[in-house]
Structure 1
């Protein structure tokens, strides 16, 4: 009987070792999860793509369905409307949504600086001297209300301009944005890589503000400004803590892989379509943006206050809004993920 018990126990243990993903999947409240993102091809969301392409979501027992939209504001609407579970988007949306009575919480960081670049069109504004010159001009953003729009508003506010002093035009996340500049449809562009690097190398634009540089982003916003993150309704997090932990684990592993990766490693992982036809440009863009990507997924403690200040500079009514900044983010899942994957 003892021998039979030993054999049965050994078989059960072997089965558990042979199928770790099955064991993990059984512990997840929602193994199939839908992630909405606005502009998946952008380097802003590189950790999401790496986690998907290297199988980190699958390794956690997740069937992660990623749905791409033209901008972050549209990705947010997908979660609010119930067609997606989680947003891969800009951190400031969690603050903004709380002021509207909807509790959203960020739980793992992808970018520690916005990586948004404001640039002017050399064709339509060859004599540009200062941000004040943008009054009455057309500014392209990924989508109205997205982080590229917020960043542009913030820079305009510092120059004494209101959002209504310019016209914002949604130009998407890829080739349409490039065409809008080259065809003279817009006078300036608030956008991300690789689009910015493509236009810069071709001499189409002149950079005004560059938050791919962490120090410049901190100076512009007056503190650490968290960028891309995974966030979800608080109710989803409360109902699905194991699922949220699995998502966090995957992104933290991706963050660490990116920091150790070289340009050649990145090129092998990202889909060919993300390169926009020029590998050299994509590598250049990656090197410029790498420092702004999060090394370990941790959300800075002062980040929520910085985001609120940025939003209030655009909408002064937010200065009087009652916001619980501790409720818009948590590092609880990140701490566990880093303990599990200390080296990625």
Structure 2
């Protein structure tokens, strides 16, 4: 379906700018994931309402599912990894990031405690079952990159989702290691069920694992929608940048207080720790790191099935824009 659609979805996009109060549906590749926290935080802070836009936040288990919703027109935006814009362009789609929430993944490759002695680096992935959220997801892309860089020829990607399904798969031996985010990371470490093998929640860890920055969490939309609805897009971006500013200027406890209480189902202290361990990954201004974007293309060109050998044909200027973050009013 995705391959068959025209490059910029010329079939037309809703004219949201004509509405007195535009309505935007945003699919989030895991509402409870700390890496996508700005979406629910913007809602909790009332920032969408302040901007005069009605935003419906809906959750999906992975970025691959979220992007399908965008491509079919069921949603107008996705909060997911930037690398999907590159992957989709390689398939003939035009999708652009309008606000870059983070320039690092915020992910970690976790290894079960039972396998911690035998899996000490990516070189040990050979022949192993490695957990990802789903095929075609960013955890899939990153796992391919880590394995490829380590010279691993064969491993089995296992779709295990996130949260409790990931934890269960690790505990029952369904996966030997896997990639996930907080608060799942914090739960595994605190319980002693898993250990951090490769940490991409910091700039240093990301550069070490991927040879540079890897812009990840973003707000992306179809190029067609952005071109037709710049006023609505600006409202959405203003709200997200407001949430990023709140993250930068407030404590983990203050941030957690604005999030749904059920996100702390493993305990308030653990949830605050997961926020504190991750909050430095977020950008303050929503701007893309240009060299980081180039590194994403470089990695996908080497290790992603869809982008392999097409890196030189990717037009980066169509995968992200700073037009809207540059116009966010100063606080």
TM-score, scaled relative to structure 1 = 0.87
String of CA shifts for 1:98-145, please: whole Å, max 9, x gaps.
111100000101122101101211224543233222212111112222
The separation in 1 between residues aligned to 2:71 and 2:216, in whole angstroms, is 20
The separation in 2 between residues aligned to 1:159 and 1:222, in whole angstroms, is 13
SS at match of 1:107: strand
| 1:148 alignment counterpart | 139
1:264/1:320 CA distance change after superposition, 3 Å: closer
Once the two structures are superposed, the pairs formed by residues 23-42 of structure 1 within 5 Å of their partners are 31-42=22-33
1:56/1:28 CA distance change after superposition, 3 Å: farther
| 1:251 alignment counterpart | 240
Q: Which has the greater radius of gyration?
A: 1
CA contact (8 A) 2:103 2:292 kept: no
The separation in 1 between residues aligned to 2:292 and 2:318, in whole angstroms, is 12
CA contact (8 A) 1:29 1:242 kept: no
Number of equivalences: 314
| 2:224 alignment counterpart | 235
The separation in 2 between residues aligned to 1:53 and 1:35, in whole angstroms, is 15
Alignment gaps of 5+ in structure 1? 1-24
CA contact (8 A) 1:116 1:151 kept: no
TM-score, scaled relative to structure 2 = 0.90
SS at match of 2:248: helix
Root-mean-square deviation over aligned CA pairs: 1.8
The separation in 1 between residues aligned to 2:166 and 2:258, in whole angstroms, is 24
Matched, 1:167 2:147: no
Give the C-alpha shift of residue 38 in structure 1: 1.2
1:145/1:239 CA distance change after superposition, 3 Å: same
Alignment gaps of 5+ in structure 2? 1-15
String of CA shifts for 1:282-320, please: whole Å, max 9, x gaps.
111111111111111111122221110121221376334
State which of 17, 32, 40 in structure 2 corresponds to 1:49: 40
State which of 312, 318, 322 in structure 2 corresponds to 1:327: 318
The separation in 2 between residues aligned to 1:160 and 1:283, in whole angstroms, is 37
The structure with more helix, counted as a fraction of residues: 1
Matched, 1:186 2:175: yes
Give the C-alpha shift of residue 82 in structure 1: 1.3
CA contact (8 A) 1:27 1:242 kept: no
SS at match of 2:204: helix
The separation in 2 between residues aligned to 1:187 and 1:69, in whole angstroms, is 25
